[in-house]
Copies of this chain bind each other. A is one copy, B any other.
């Protein structure tokens, strides 16, 4: 069913998308401001269910790409992702009928809404990552056979690049990343042009409305003085994400972070207040793995998020600071992200990790 987004929905959506961003995807706050301004200007944004998309519609994925740290320093004007879409349409010789988020996590939950507000196109309630991932080939669209290219890339100077690598999505990522680095570390993209039928077959469905719901659950739990983490676990249990659990509550005792190769990479260590246990998180834009010594607690593609211990406000990897009191929260990924084809593209090996993937719900928390 189509949803018309209201101004009040946006903070909830941003909060839920930050949770699904697993520390990456960019801080949604900047996007929230831009999208709110569009609604205040009287523009409307419609979320449509994947089932409502015509099989032969042209759907284009919209996002920013680059190091989230840079987005904070180079705030978008708002035209960039629209120009990318228009240039891709020009290249394809056909206008898009709808847009779809590349990733439902972080700022990238907001970028497609901005495009929707400015173009009047509906946004498909779903995405290609089901969370945030650092690279463009890591999308279920590509996992299940859609070509990521041609891709159009635009920066704040309105420089535009169109890259076509045929069905080779790894090469698309390679060139797009190089271009984004030369564009100053952040760019706005239109990619994975596909049919409505392909959307239905390859997208992770209803992740935008899920983000909205998760964000709302956190807010309502706060208002009702309930534990928001319990409320999240309860809410997830009847979704395709199903399992949500707290891995550790404690204090950030160490953060090592650097911008390299166009990504934010690093590790964070979080210890229980009594110092008896320490969990180390490794991230590339997003959290990839949580380990207690050598013991695995959760690993990509399952979601690992760090949230404020009391308010459950999600904290991005670039906002992690010594002394923050947090809980590490893990969420199981939907089945479409756990197939052998999917794990080959965004499982532990794709990030150079040695561990095999094990479903988070089968790992012990203590």
Contact = CB atoms under 8 A, between A and B. Distances in A.
Interface string A175-186: 100110111000
Interface string A147-167: 000000000011111111110
A168 B163 contact: no
Given A178-B179, A179-B179, A164 B160 contact: yes
Nearest to A159: B165
A161 B164 contact: yes
A91 interface: yes
A21 B364 CA distance: 67
A174 interface: yes
A178 B168 contact: no
Q: How large is the interface on A (under 10, 10 to 19, 20 to 34, 35 or more residues)?
A: 20 to 34
A171 interface: yes
B171 A159 contact: yes
Contact of A160 (B157, B163, B179): B163
A41 B181 CA distance: 44
B159 A175 contact: yes
Interface in A196-229: none
Interface in A86-106: 87, 91
Given A159-B164, A165-B159, A178 B171 contact: no
Contacts of A183: 175
Contacts of A168: 157, 159
A30 B316 CA distance: 52
Nearest to A151: B161
A175 B162 CA distance: 12
A174 B181 CA distance: 11
A66 to B, nearest CB: 14
A182 B181 CA distance: 12
B159 A161 contact: no
Contacts of A174: 182
B181 A157 contact: no
B163 A175 contact: no
A147 to B, nearest CB: 12
A185 to B, nearest CB: 13
A175 B166 contact: no
Contact of A175 (B91, B161, B171): B161
A224 to B, nearest CB: 52
Interface string A318-352: 00000000000000000000000000000000000
A183 to B, nearest CB: 8
User: 7 closest A-B pairs (Cβ-Cβ)?
Assistant: A178-B182, A162-B162, A159-B165, A160-B164, A178-B178, A161-B163, A175-B182
23 contacts: A87-B164, A91-B91, A91-B162, A157-B165, A157-B171, A158-B166, A159-B163, A159-B164, A159-B165, A159-B168, A159-B171, A159-B175, A160-B164, A161-B163, A161-B175, A161-B179, A162-B163, A174-B182, A175-B179, A178-B179, A178-B181, A178-B182, A179-B179
Given A159-B168, A161-B161, A178-B181, 5 more contacts: A87-B164, A159-B165, A160-B163, A160-B165, A161-B179
